[in-house]
Structure 1
Amino acid sequence: MENKPFLTTRSLQPENQESPIHFLSSWLTPDKYFYRRNHFSYPVLTSKHLWLQINGNISQPRFFHLYEMLSLPVKSLILPLECAGNKRAHFHPKVYGEQWEDGAISQGKWTGVPLFYLLEQTGFSKNTKEIVFEGADFGRKPNKDNMIPYRRSLPLEKALHPDTIIAYQYNNKSLDYKHGYPFRLIVPNWYGMASVKWLNKIEIIDHSFEGPFQTEDYVYYPHKNDDQESYPVTTLHVNSIIQQPLPFTVLNTGIHEIKGIAWTGKGVVTEIEVSLNNGDTWKQAVLERSNDPYAWTKWFLLWHAEKKGEYSIYVRAKDSHGRVQPLQPFWNRMGYGYNAVSKVNVKIE
């Protein structure tokens, strides 16, 4: 009987589950293993949610039905989505929020209509500043009295990028209900909070959007007790995961494969280095790339473990924009964007 991995539960109301990332080797994450990140309970969908509304600062408000979307220009992208709080559990001192370890990231093939094509049908104004996206999920935030939907915006330039799409398929099948059916915004190179699920309304505005998921959450606050020098969470940092060996594994002497994945929100991953002596010296890992420009990079290094003892394995990724994983994380009050050098401890016996 084949043993299979399971999601790791972080909460059930709302549901937040980690992908078993250490045990997945395929380029495309199956639906059932895709991480789940929710702010509210799952929405109750009806036939009206098969329509996508576009309104606001435009001359021709539109509704697009799912069946119409299927007949429009199509684009497919293979890319990872990473929760901004991925690896939050590794911060010291600890911060509040879901204590994600490594599994709030998954990768798949997203298929849908380029957003710019839909916007071109609406005659949006030249003074448009941002595009606001609203999901069907809603609830009450702890610091708010009223029920609110999940809403976020993109600056016009990012919204009009040819690879920003309204997806209706994942891995060549209709979107799974728990991952945004029937429409999900997909924003390459940005953290997952931008890729709004259960998308049912798009609004074009001529000012800055200031909803709570834009100006309170998903903001880097570098200081513990004040909001000075804060700035929004947007582009993915260069990052990596050691998939195997697992932390605090006991191994025999011999040859062992150290392997994992790496990704970035700028350019491509160009180099993976592995250290077995706390960062004193580094060895080059072998890279396995995909032809898809946004896809993560697989890597491995064969380690000849000849001496018994305890070892710390360090891994750092570099990208084509010169960004490198730092030895120490950038601590911030809400625990976003952790990308310090990946580390695991193992013992050779």
Structure 2
Amino acid sequence: MPYRVNPYLITRSLHPENQETPIHFLRQPAIPEEYFFKRNHFFYPVPGQNSYQLQVKGKVTKSVNFHYDELQRMPSRKLKMVLECAGNKRSKFKPKVYGEQWEDGAISQGEWQGIPLNTLLAVTGVDPDVREVVFEGYDTGRRTDINEVVPFARSLPLQKALHPDTLIAYKYNGKPIPFKHGFPLRLIVPGWYGMASVKWLKTITLIDETFKGPFQTIDYVYYPDENSSLKAYPVSIINVNSIIQQPLDRSVIEQDAEHIIEGIAWTGKGDIKQVQVSFDKGKVWREAILTNTSSTAYGWTKWHINWKPPEIGEYTIQARAVDSAGRRQPEKALWNKKGYGFNAVSEINVKTE
């Protein structure tokens, strides 16, 4: 009997723990939790009894502490969705930028279950002058740039917070969320990069001003100008993007055979309408076959195309996706000094023999 070979997470750092999903080797529509990418800014928090309480406070009619068991008894929703780190593919930027040098695997997909946040806010009430909702996690640490110990905290505009698909989740793929992915409670914000989906959720605070936390105003901001904050704007909605899963980059393949070129495409706006593939560095584009276009509003779309190399040699294979909002992967990603949102045309090189 042959040995069963399984892929491994790809480690980018140990302290804090940051690991990539082996995305080129997985075909499941829901990524198992053991292969879900890990993105942390600090060490893991130490769980305690208070972890099972979620306080909603601030500009509300009444502050309420919701218990974990109470939340599980409320009407819930299930969403299958992509969760992508804003720094996914950072290693591909030219010139290079500082930060975790993610390749293609800071992305995963699965089913989250929880209570719409608007259900909780209907209980607490919302003051008419509320502008943003702040979400604070139990994970804390020292930021050397400001020399302060801070929690990981982010805000959402009130309109996004009230969207029926913004969830306070307690399950992933039908089981309690694994501790390393936010147990017991995690905010889930479909269509936005993963920094918005705060883990180990501690408090929710409604405010009548603009939140100024460092993970909102220093990190997760696009800085197109390397030397200033001119034209800076916040990271939010996921860019239209794609990955060529197989063959792998720098593969050697048979010339006298037909090959399946396959991958995934995703977007934070609408859905994927088209994936095009080129085998001649963009001179001619062929349309790929999309295989799960109606499976979920927030999930990735699988695609494939058959190809037989015309002769022995080296080839560049490129893929680009188009979404229903009219966004197309550009030839070159918008360079920014923190390395967010890379979504240039996907590209691999293969050699035939």
Q: 2:295 aligns with which of 291, 302, 323?
A: 291
The structural deviation recorded for 1:264 is 0.4
Paired residue for 1:261? 264
Paired residue for 1:212? 214
> C-alpha distance in 1, partners of 2:126/2:21?
39
Q: Which runs of 5+ in 1 are unaligned?
A: none
What is the SS of the residue equivalent to 2:206?
Answer: strand
Q: 1:170 aligns with which of 164, 169, 172?
A: 172
- Percent identity of equivalent pairs: 54
Letter in 2 for 1:109: E
The structural deviation recorded for 1:123 is 1.5
Number of residue equivalences: 349
> 1:87-126 residue pairs with structure 2 within 5 A?
87-126=89-128
TM-score (norm 2): 0.98
> C-alpha distance in 1, partners of 2:214/2:165?
26
What is the SS of the residue equivalent to 2:24?
Answer: helix
Pair 1:203-2:210 in alignment: no
Paired residue for 1:10? 12
Q: Which runs of 5+ in 2 are unaligned?
A: none
Paired residue for 1:81? 83
> 1:52-67 residue pairs with structure 2 within 5 A?
52-67=54-69
Residues 162-197 of structure 1 show CA distances to partners (whole Å, capped at 9, x for unaligned) of 000000000000000000000000000000000000
The structural deviation recorded for 1:146 is 2.1
- Computed over aligned residues only, the root mean square deviation of the Cα atoms, in angstroms, reads 0.6
TM-score (norm 1): 0.99
Residues 76-114 of structure 1 show CA distances to partners (whole Å, capped at 9, x for unaligned) of 000010000000000000000000000000000000000
> C-alpha distance in 2, partners of 1:165/1:307?
52
What is the SS of the residue equivalent to 1:257?
Answer: strand
What is the SS of the residue equivalent to 2:308?
Answer: strand
> C-alpha distance in 2, partners of 1:37/1:241?
20
> 1:123-162 residue pairs with structure 2 within 5 A?
123-162=125-164
Instruction: List structure 1 segments (4+ residues) > 3 angstroms apart after TM superposition.
Output: none
Letter in 2 for 1:321: A
The structural deviation recorded for 1:292 is 1.2
The structural deviation recorded for 1:73 is 1.2
Paired residue for 1:326? 330
> C-alpha distance in 1, partners of 2:62/2:132?
17
Paired residue for 1:311? 315
Letter in 2 for 1:196: V
Letter in 1 for 2:82: P
Residues 289-333 of structure 1 show CA distances to partners (whole Å, capped at 9, x for unaligned) of 142111100000011123110000000000111100001111001
What is the SS of the residue equivalent to 2:97?
Answer: coil
What is the SS of the residue equivalent to 2:215?
Answer: helix
Pair 1:40-2:42 in alignment: yes
What is the SS of the residue equivalent to 1:305?
Answer: coil
Letter in 1 for 2:150: I
> C-alpha distance in 2, partners of 1:20/1:72?
35
What is the SS of the residue equivalent to 2:156?
Answer: strand
Residues 207-235 of structure 1 show CA distances to partners (whole Å, capped at 9, x for unaligned) of 00010000000000001111100000000
Q: 1:282 aligns with which of 282, 285, 299?
A: 285
What is the SS of the residue equivalent to 1:140?
Answer: strand
